[in-house]
């Protein structure tokens, strides 16, 4: 426990009922409205607002605000809120995590500096004291391990072998101590929300590579309190990764299963739909996106939590589904003339349109495969057109030279402001579009390997 907080608990004016609130476990099932009070010490941000953010997977929308008075104090109205993780912020970007649990009537905290995450003391709320005790232990462990890794980076693997082994032992001890501290905190209050989220996250980790239903058995996707934690999107992603899919139909079935698993709570169901729409609009497959739109959007299902931004992205992605006509786009070469995609495609039965960034490691990892398929199918009529989502002309030219790119590459040098990327609704890099001679989209391969498989069937 932090020294200043420990002193505040021992101070002579501590009232008996407050001490009981701090130390006694909450009565199970006793759900009540919860007040949040705090102050900046020394006083700061007077007459400004401090905001309370909810948590919905990875999103943190503002749900309330309170004015900071001349003494640096603030108070939120006593409202019954769903148990879960929340955030407080000033200046939007400076935020601090906290737990609101309906079994605790009041949270009282002191903010004594910036960034808030490093300068917070919880005077009332055992749940948050427990959370921040673990955060402190975790930060200390990370610092020690980082220092060890830095030292090992400067050692000679042969001459300094004993020291390297000693540092490895220190790192192992630090990790073990951190886990022991976590286990002790969980044992103190196994029914706490903190313990619930940790256990749920551990079950998701244990379910990796064991099939999607292993996730479903260990994680309740209709629990609105788990929705208010980072464990929820982690569970969804693990479920999808565990598919080991070999066909687009598997993603369609998985989407329906996830929607069913979340259907026990309207908010969870709404978030699940939005997350799946985002994922499939960004990464595909098109079939799964079309299925979600047809079954859950077009038929008037509950869209209460679907943002306008997500719906707009879905509509954009639908423009670029299989069978759609790809737009003709200008292709400028930095420092030289501009041509058009249609001109580059003339005389080629198929064109692979490759969106990448010259500073993207994942993009660089795909380039040898693209070089290989261009060498293999170029003589059979394949054209490859690279569109770099770059801002630096130097980076653009260096990537071509360093990766021995032999196909034509272009860039507007406008980064994510690229008109070409917007025209093709590109949301992630690298992205591939396989176009027929009439610019009809006949393939959206995930990577160069998948592009190679598709081209084998088209250019024999």
Beta partners for residue 121, in sequence order: 110
**Quick check: 148 and 166 in contact, CB under 8 A?**
no
Which residue in 243, 242, 310, 250 sits closest to 281, CA to CA?
310
Domain range 330-458, CATH architecture: 3-Layer(aba) Sandwich (3.40)
Q: How many Å apart are CA 349 and CA 424, to the nearest integer?
A: 20
Residue 93 pLDDT > 90, yes or no?
no
For the sheet containing 431-436, what is the strand order?
409-410, 382-388, 350-356, 431-436, 441-443
**Quick check: 449 and 372 in contact, CB under 8 A?**
no
Strand 382-388 and strand 350-356: the pairing is parallel
> Region 95-104: what's the mean pLDDT?
94
Residue 355, helix vs strand vs coil: strand
Strand 338-340 and strand 409-410: the pairing is unpaired
Question: DSSP state, 56?
Answer: B
Which residue bears the tokens 């943190």?
60
pLDDT at residue 241, rounded to an integer: 94
**Quick check: 316 and 288 in contact, CB under 8 A?**
no
Tens of pLDDT, residues 243-293: 988 888 999 999 999 999 999 999 999 899 989 988 888 888 888 888 888
pLDDT at residue 299, rounded to an integer: 54
- With bands split at pLDDT 50, 70 and 90, how would you rate the model's confidence at 373? very high
C-alpha to C-alpha distances, 78 to 36, 107, 228, 234, 368, nearest whole angstrom: 7, 10, 19, 31, 59
Where is pLDDT greater, at 417 or 427?
A: 417
**Quick check: 106 and 21 in contact, CB under 8 A?**
yes
pTM above 0.75, yes or no: no
Structure-block tokens of residue 305: 């939590």
Domain extent listing, the chain: 3-124, 131-188, 208-319, 330-458
Candidates 3.40.50.1000, 2.60.40.1120, 3.40.50.720, 3.90.1150.10; CATH matching 3-124: 2.60.40.1120
Residue 383 pLDDT > 60, yes or no?
yes
Tens of pLDDT, residues 282-339: 888 888 888 888 888 765 554 456 777 777 777 777 777 888 899 999 999 998 899 9
Helices (H) and strands (E) in the chain, counts: 17, 15
Residue 78 pLDDT > 50, yes or no?
yes
């Amino acid at each position: 426990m932090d020294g200043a907080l420990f002193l505040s608990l021992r101070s002579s004016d501590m009232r008996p009922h407050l001490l009981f609130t701090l130390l006694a476990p909450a009565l199970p099932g006793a759900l009540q409205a919860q007040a949040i009070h705090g102050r900046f010490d020394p006083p700061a941000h007077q007459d400004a607002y401090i905001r309370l953010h909810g948590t919905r997977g990875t999103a943190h929308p503002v749900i309330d605000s309170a004015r900071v008075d001349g003494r640096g104090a603030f108070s939120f109205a006593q409202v019954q809120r769903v148990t879960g993780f929340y955030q407080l912020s000033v200046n939007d970007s400076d935020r601090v995590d906290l737990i609101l649990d309906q079994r605790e009537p009041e949270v009282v905290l002191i903010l004594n500096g910036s960034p808030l995450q490093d300068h917070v003391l919880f005077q009332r709320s055992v749940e948050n004291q427990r959370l921040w005790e673990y955060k402190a232990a975790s930060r200390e462990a990370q610092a020690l391990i980082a220092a060890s890794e830095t030292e090992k980076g400067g050692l000679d693997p042969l001459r300094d072998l004993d020291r390297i082994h000693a540092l490895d032992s220190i790192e192992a001890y630090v990790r073990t101590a951190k886990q022991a501290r976590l286990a002790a905190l969980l044992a103190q209050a196994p029914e706490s929300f903190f313990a619930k989220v940790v256990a749920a996250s551990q079950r998701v980790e244990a379910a990796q590579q064991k099939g999607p239903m292993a996730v479903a058995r260990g994680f309740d996707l209709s629990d609105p309190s788990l929705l208010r934690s980072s464990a929820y999107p982690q569970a969804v992603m693990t479920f999808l990764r565990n598919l080991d899919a070999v066909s687009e139909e598997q993603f369609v079935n998985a989407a329906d299963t996830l929607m069913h698993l979340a259907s026990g709570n309207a908010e969870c169901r709404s978030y699940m739909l939005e997350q799946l729409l985002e994922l499939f609009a960004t990464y595909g497959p098109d079939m799964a996106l079309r299925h979600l739109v047809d079954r859950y959007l077009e038929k008037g299902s509950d869209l209460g939590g679907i943002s306008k931004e997500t719906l707009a992205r879905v509509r954009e992605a639908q423009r670029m589904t299989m069978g759609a006509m790809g737009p003709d786009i200008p292709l400028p070469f930095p420092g030289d003339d501009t041509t058009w995609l249609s001109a580059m495609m003339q005389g080629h039965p198929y064109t692979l349109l490759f969106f990448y960034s010259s500073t993207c490691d994942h993009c660089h990892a795909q380039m040898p495969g693209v070089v290989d398929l261009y060498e293999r199918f170029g003589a059979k009529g394949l054209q490859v057109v690279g569109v770099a989502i770059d801002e630096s002309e130097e980076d653009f030219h260096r990537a071509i030279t360093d990766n021995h790119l032999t196909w034509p590459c272009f860039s507007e040098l406008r980064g994510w402001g690229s008109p070409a990327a917007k025209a093709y609704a590109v949301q992630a890099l690298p992205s591939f579009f396989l176009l027929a001679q009439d610019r009809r989209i006949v393939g959206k391969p995930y990577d160069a390997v998948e592009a190679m498989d598709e081209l084998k069937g088209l250019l024999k």
